[in-house]
Structures are given as C-alpha cells and as structure tokens.
Amino acid sequence: MAYLFTSESVSEGHPDKVADQISDALIDNFLAFDAESKVACETLVTTGQVILAGEVKSSTYLDVQQIAREVIKKIGYTKSEYMFDADSCGILSAIHEQSADINQGVDRASKEEQGAGDQGMMFGYATNETENYMPLALDLSHALLIELANLRRENNEIKYLRPDAKSQVTLEYSDDNKPVRIDAIVISTQHDDFGPEAEMLAKIKSDLISILIPRIKAKYPQYAHLFNDNITYHINPTGKFVIGGPHGDTGLTGRKIIVDTYGGKGAHGGGAFSGKDPSKVDRSAAYATRHIAKNLVAAGLCDEVLVQVSYAIGVAKPTSINVVTYGTSKVNLTDGEISKIVENVFDMRPYFIEQRLKLRNPIYSETAAYGHMGRTPETVTKTFQLPNGAPKTVTVELFTWEKLDYVDKVKTAFGI
C-alpha cells in the first residue's frame, strides 16, 4: 500500500543551529593548533546573549568570544533589529578543564588502544533512492533551505529574508518503496516587517513558489519529476515570522540530531555531534557507520542498510556491530553473517576510525548546518588565528566519511 513519509530541516540561522556552529567552530580552532585536544563544548543562545560551557584539555588558548562573533556574523545576524547581533551580543564562557577521571579512560600508552570516550550505540544508514545515498525527503528539505539562504545572501530576487528558517517535505511512496511524488512542502522563513500581515504572507508564498521552487528543480534535475501541480504548500502557516532566531527561541547545541542525520529514516543512538572532538564516539562512530553503510550500498550489497555499533566507555573494541539490510541484500548471507564480514573489513576501534577518516583535523564547522551526512567530500584550505599570534593555514579533507573508498574492499570481501 502506498504511504507518506516526512522529513524536516532547519537553516543555519535557526537558534539550535547557531549554537551548533559556534560549538564546532571552537572544535576546529582547538584542533587547528593542537590536534590532540579533547573538547566537549555546549552553546546556548538567546536574546542578545551567548553562553559557552564545557570541558577542554588542550595546549592552546583561544579567544572564544571572537570565534563566536565571527560565526554569528557569517550566519547573518548583523542587525540590531534582530535582537541578536554579532557585534553587540554578550558572550559568557564557562569552559573548564576536562575531568581526569574521564581522560584516563580515553588516553592510553598505546594510541591503538585508545578507549571510547563514552558508552552508547551509534547508527549509520544509506539507501540507493538518491545519488548521495541519503533519504530523499531529507535531501529535499536541506536543498530548500540551502537555496533559501542563497537567495537571502544574493538579496536580489527576494530582499526581505532573515536568517531563521525551517522546511519539511512529505513524499508519497509506492507499494515497492519508491518515491513517486511530493505530497506537501512546509517552509517557515523569518522575514522583515514590510507591510500588512496578509500582504506580506501572500507575497512570501508567491515568491517562494515562483522563485525558490524553480531554482530547486533546475539545480536538482533528478528530482524535478517529483514536483507536481497537486503539492500542498504551507508557507509561514502560523502567520508573520518577524521575531525569530535566538531572540524568538533559545537555541542549544545538539537539539537537531535527526536533521543532522537521516531525517527519521534508519535509527539514531541519541548522541549529538557538534561540540565534540573525535574521541567522542557519539560523533566519530556515527561517521564511521555512515561510511560503512554508504560503501555497502554503493558496492551493490543491498539497496538499503542500517549499521549499528556500540561501545563501553574506556574500551577500544566495540561491544557489538550489527548490519540490517531490510531484506534488500543481494548476497546469499544472513544479516548476521554480513555483520561478521563487515567487522573484519572495517576496524571500528576509536583510534582507527580517527585515522581512517582523518578526524583529528579542523573539519567540523562545515558539518554544523544542513546535515552531517550526504555531503560532498572536498579538500579545502582554511586559516585560523590565535590571539596575538600568526595565522595558521591548513589544508584538510571535508566529509571523508562520504567517500566511496571501500567499495572495492567490500566487493572483494563479499565476492560481488
């Protein structure tokens, strides 16, 4: 029987995402100057105020206030009428030294035996319904907000947009689990106060349908056939959305874990990513399981897969690895047998995850908005600045867990 499935996304200006981006900017700066930094940094943003808290073990000293202001400015909170402004907001830091009790369980004399930074389970998911092996509803939800942010920054076709926004896409699937059409699109975007409410709402809806949607269809031609004349559009359905961002809603690091991963498809272990260095398996193992899942599907082992790994704090070897192929496996093996082979192909001890995916590099700011998964791997050059110090320029690989560099190894291991 045909069914509907929905995923949502939030923009870089959403208060929770502002918090995520500040936390990850701090991670990047610590790692740029001390690759062995251990960091767990939480951020709270509200009207005119940023609060930083967390634990750090590092040999470097940062101007955390300046880093936070640069992030806020880049997002677009640069006007006093937003009630949250990069130049004038207050920033309070309550960051302190990491607990020695926790650290002794992570650091080892032999790096290969580095223990997991916490207990817990992490999941990676992949499906062949999109070119980037991501769930389609989430992919479209992200795309809508990326293009909306592009329109805001261009300030050409639409001039009233503000940074805060949310999207949601509902897809209709056929009996054989194939997406056939878009049933509904929800977009709530913050905007300037530029007239009577009814007129503002009418213009915003008209602009988004006539300007944003055609841009999506042109930029993502592989999805153009899913758009139709019967889509239900809910554009700013609660009415005007002038008050937004951290002034309209307090933001916290780690509150958008489903937006960050698979939009409700697969499963989630509950751990957030932003603000955590890669010794925290909540982050590194979630990336590693995505890497496994994507390479399994790309190798033709299955059409859809969920990979679970679990850890005990301070212990290097995972307590379990499990692979679920949802009955789509192309090899004559049970999911349990597939799991055992996967365990031999991918070393899931924390140190080896860090090395395989090059995670002790300043690569995290780019992950903190529009999803950690499904992104395009690329090599970039970044520059960091210490207080009263010389700039440091580094070249790093972004989104290494999205590389299809294990496809041949998977094919060999499974005889595909």
Annotated binding site: 14, 16, 42, 55, 98, 164-166, 240-241, 249, 255-256, 272, 276, 280
Contact residues for 75 (Cβ-Cβ < 8 A; gap 6+): 12, 13, 18, 21, 163
Say how far apart CA 395 and CA 401 lie, in whole Å.
17
CB-CB contact of 10 with 242 (8 Å): no
* Residue 182 phi, psi dihedral angles, 5° rounding: -85, 125
Give the three-class secondary structure for 394. Answer: strand
Number of Cβ atoms within 10 Å of the Cβ of 305: 29
Q: 373, 319, 352: which is closest to 121 by C-alpha?
A: 319
Half-sphere CA count of 78, side-chain side, radius 13 A: 7
Number of Cβ atoms within 10 Å of the Cβ of 122: 27
CA 83 to chain centre: 26
DSSP state for residue 114 in the 8-state scheme: P
Please give the annotated binding residues for ATP, written as ranges.
14, 164-166, 240-241, 249, 255-256, 272, 276
Please give the annotated binding residues for L-methionine, written as ranges.
55, 98, 249, 280
Q: Kindly state the tokens that stand for 191.
A: 């905007």
Q: What is the longest distance spanned by two Cα atoms in the chain?
A: 67
Return the residue matching tokens 């592989």.
222
Please give the annotated binding residues for Mg(2+), written as ranges.
16
CB-CB contact of 38 with 279 (8 Å): yes
DSSP state for residue 231 in the 8-state scheme: P
Return the residue matching tokens 């740029």.
32
* DSSP element (H, E) containing 100: helix 100-106
Q: 75, 62, 18: which is closest to 42 by C-alpha?
A: 18
Say how far apart CA 246 and CA 244 lie, in whole Å.
6
Contact residues for 20 (Cβ-Cβ < 8 A; gap 6+): 43, 253, 254, 256, 274, 275, 368, 369
Q: For 174-326, list the strands marked E by DSSP.
A: 179-191, 232-235, 251-252, 304-311, 320-324
Please give the annotated binding residues for K(+), written as ranges.
42
